[in-house]
Amino acid sequence: MLGKTLISCTLGLVCVAQTANCSEGDDIPQRAQTVSDVIDRPGVLTPRGQWSFDTSLSYTQNSSNKVSVVGYTVLPTLIVGRIEVSDADRTTVTVGLTARYGLTNATELEVRLPYVYRNDQIATRPIQDGSNADVVNTTIDGGGMGDVELAIRHQFNFDSAPYWVGGLRVKSDTGRSPYDVSIDEGSNSFSDVPTGSGFWSFEPNISMIYPTDPAVLYASLSYIYNLEENVTVGDTKADVDLGDTIALAGGMGFSVNPDLSFSLGLSHKTILKSKVNGSSADDAKLLQLDALTFGVNYAFSPRASLNVSAQAGLTEDTPDFQLTIRVPFNL
């Protein structure tokens, strides 16, 4: 989450640009539309008393292939049982509306309302059964409200670069939790698609923005802390503590002209082991998520712009591809 927010803000894609000594009557854009705006006017948050909005559409594709042995090995070259090859394709479309309000020229509040649609398809082929066709276990699709997010940000300095912005993001559990969805015993998959994590989380973060004409360099660090929840799976209750996340991101935005800019970024997340009833399972592991992002932003008016970004996963646990279209604007 921080990587997306940082790319949006620091590269002039949705940043508010207004210095501390600008008066309300100054005839300048209220919101930075390109990287050059961040260089000229280093305020990067919504000005005092102003509203800004952001509409977004995100498409995420993730696939996985797995070979499993249902049985046991007698010798290194002899397997008793059945070998299965499964292929899972998961598509997620998220429509989001974000509103920001400037408490002061250095502090802003944010609320984000997401709607999530998912389509999951899983096919399994038992190799040793002599079947030539894939056996589709299940196809699940559906949607609903995702997890609503609230955030507050504060810019610590205006006079000299680098500029530092700190924040706190709170994610609710308004989406449909995976633990609220029953499991189909035949296919061992969800009977409906979850649209949220089912857990409250808190994310303190710090961002650095360094303008160096005609580019803007950025970096960020955040930590996502998930609250432990008591959940029910079937007839069993358990205290589940999702693994916390350490996130790092960095990159560069480059201004081609006053209306057009592009960005390159690299993000890394380490998801710590989850715990059930205070202990981690023997097969629990750290997850490493790395992604490369490329974005293009075009300002079609002083108060609005169009941003298109593509993200490619670099590790096995990262989604394969994500395309995001955003239209930030202010009133």
In this prediction, residue 108 carries a pLDDT of 96
Please identify every stretch of the chain with a pLDDT value under 70, giving residue numbers as ranges: 1-42, 65-86, 124-137, 184-189, 234
Which residues, in sequence order, are CB contacts of 77 under 8 Å at separation 6+? none
In this prediction, residue 39 carries a pLDDT of 60
102: left (phi over 0), alpha (psi -120 to 50) or beta: beta
In this prediction, residue 7 carries a pLDDT of 41
In this prediction, residue 83 carries a pLDDT of 56
Query: What are the tokens at 154?
Result: 């504060």
Which of 270, 330, 322 lies closest to 305 in space, CA to CA? 330
Quick one: CA dihedral 282, 178, 198, 109, positive or negative? positive
In this prediction, residue 277 carries a pLDDT of 86
Cα–Cα–Cα angle for 94, 196, 12, rounded to 5 degrees: 45
Which residues, in sequence order, are CB contacts of 209 under 8 Å at separation 6+? 9, 10, 38, 42, 44, 161, 162, 163, 164, 165, 216, 217, 218
CB of 252 closer than 8 Å to CB of 200 = no
In this prediction, residue 19 carries a pLDDT of 33
* φ, ψ of residue 3 in degrees (nearest 5): -60, -45
Number of C-alpha atoms within 13 angstroms, CB side, residue 48? 10
The distance between the two most distant Cα atoms of the chain, rounded to a whole number of Å, is 81
In this prediction, residue 36 carries a pLDDT of 59
Classify domain 2-61+90-122+139-330 at the CATH superfamily level.
monomeric porin ompg (2.40.160.40)
Count of CB atoms within 10 A of residue 234's CB?
A: 7
Tell me the chain's radius of gyration from C-alpha atoms.
23
Count of CB atoms within 10 A of residue 216's CB?
A: 30
